[in-house]
Amino acid sequence: MQETARTAPIMARSGLSEAAFAWLLISPALLFIGVIVAWPLVETIRLSFTNATLGGEEYVGLANYADLLASPKFYDTVARTFYWMFLSVSLKLVMGLIGATLLNAAIPGKALFRILVMPPWVIPVAIGVIGWKWMYNGYFGLISGLLQEFGLVQDRVALLASKTSAFYSAVVTDVWVGTPMVTLFLLAAMQGVSRDLYEAAWVDGAGRWYRFRRITIPQIMPVIVSMALLSAIWTFHSFEIIWILTEGGPRGATTTLIIDTYKVAISSQRFGEGAARAVVIVALLAVFSLAYLYFLNRVNRHYGAK
């Protein structure tokens, strides 16, 4: 490599300063984010103060927000979204921790098991969800069939047809989509833990469970915590899973904020009202993330990570 550089013809040095060169390098990224994220964000905020539809738009002040605050249904949706997020993220972390521990165990075949855990993560989300939609089906679905086979239910159950079971079915599918990635992240973190720590503890007579609790968990805690934040943000926004399974139904039982926003803004093309909902989502997530980052900082300090 050095050779190439040395024998290369001396290129004219650009007269750019380090700072100008740096800004030049990041400018394409800035341009993309500006046009596709920053400007639409500003525009969303502006639209939220209008009654924009396909026909036109008029400034309406805070009317869209006032409508939201006056609607009991909206509070239900917010509460449901947070419940959906907490339940799904906790389960993903638990499943991911179990999965990573299993895949990290020194048993023959672990290389194969690591590959087998990947498919839900690397295929399009929508395709896995179609598989689940079939399995939840009441007439010929696998889950209903199994429940009958084991005598747990008398008749076939259409899991997506009743409110409670539809909600928890959507949670299970979301956990299924998210588990492989959490598993692989935690597995990578576990493999980064120094073996010396384990060996020292082992020499002192510490058992497996003790080593897991007192070495593995504290060492990977920063990764668990950042994984939890990322999953929380993605789950909060998760659209495809619910949309394909239930489109927010039955009777709103699986309508999270993002589904509500999509229905209002895109399906019924009430852009202004939809934009107000989008702004609420962004604000809630921003507050949540800041609170979380503050917490993350404290956890990192507590566990002595840099």
Partner 1 sequence: MGPNEMLIDRLNIWQKIGLYIATFLFLLFILMPFIEMLRVSLRPMSHLMTAEFSWWSKDFSLQAYRDMWVTVPLLGRYIFNSVFIALAVTLATMIVVVPGAYAYARLEFPFKALSLGGFLAVNMFTGAVLLIPLYRVLRTLGLLNTYWAMIIPGIAFLIPTGIWLLRSYLEKIPRELEEAAYVDGASRLYTLRRVVIPLATPGLIVVATSVFIGAYAQQFLFAITFNNKREYQPLPAGLFEFVGYQDTTWNEMMAAALTGVLPVLLFFLFLQKYLVAGLTAGAVKE
Closest CA to 127 of 20, 26, 240, 229: 240
Residue 54 binds partner 1, judged by CB under 8 A? no
Residue 136 binds partner 1, judged by CB under 8 A? no
Residue 90 binds partner 1, judged by CB under 8 A? no
Q: Classify residue 74 as exposed, middle or buried by CB count within 10 Å of its CB (0-12, 13-18, 19+).
A: middle
Tokens of 205: 């007579």
Closest CA to 132 of 91, 176, 180, 187: 176
State the number of binding residues for partner 1 (CB under 8 A): 113
Out of 55, 70, 149, 205, name the contact with partner 1 by CB under 8 A: 149
Tokens of 58: 């008029």
- Sequence-distant (≥ 6) Cβ neighbours of residue 303 within 8 angstroms: 218, 219, 221, 222
| Stretch of residues binding partner 1 (CB under 8 A), selected from 59-67, 73-81, 245-253, 264-272 | 264-272
Give min distance, CB of 4 to partner 1, in A. Answer: 6
The CA distance from 91 to 88, in Å, is 5
Residue 125 binds partner 1, judged by CB under 8 A? yes
**Which amino acid is located at 106 in the chain?**
A
Out of 74, 202, 292, 303, name the contact with partner 1 by CB under 8 A: 202
Residue 10 binds partner 1, judged by CB under 8 A? yes
Closest CA to 183 of 86, 85, 88, 98: 98
* CA dist list (Å): 269 to 16, 222, 275: 48, 42, 11
- Sequence-distant (≥ 6) Cβ neighbours of residue 228 within 8 angstroms: 89, 93, 292
Give min distance, CB of 114 to partner 1, in A. Answer: 7
Out of 56, 122, 155, 304, name the contact with partner 1 by CB under 8 A: 122
Site string (169-198) toward partner 1, x via CB under 8 A: -------x--xx---xx-xxx-xx--x--x
Residue 287 binds partner 1, judged by CB under 8 A? no
Judged by beta carbon, residue 36 or residue 291, the one nearer partner 1 is 36
Judged by beta carbon, residue 166 or residue 259, the one nearer partner 1 is 259
Residue 8 binds partner 1, judged by CB under 8 A? yes
Residue 223 binds partner 1, judged by CB under 8 A? yes
Judged by beta carbon, residue 105 or residue 163, the one nearer partner 1 is 105
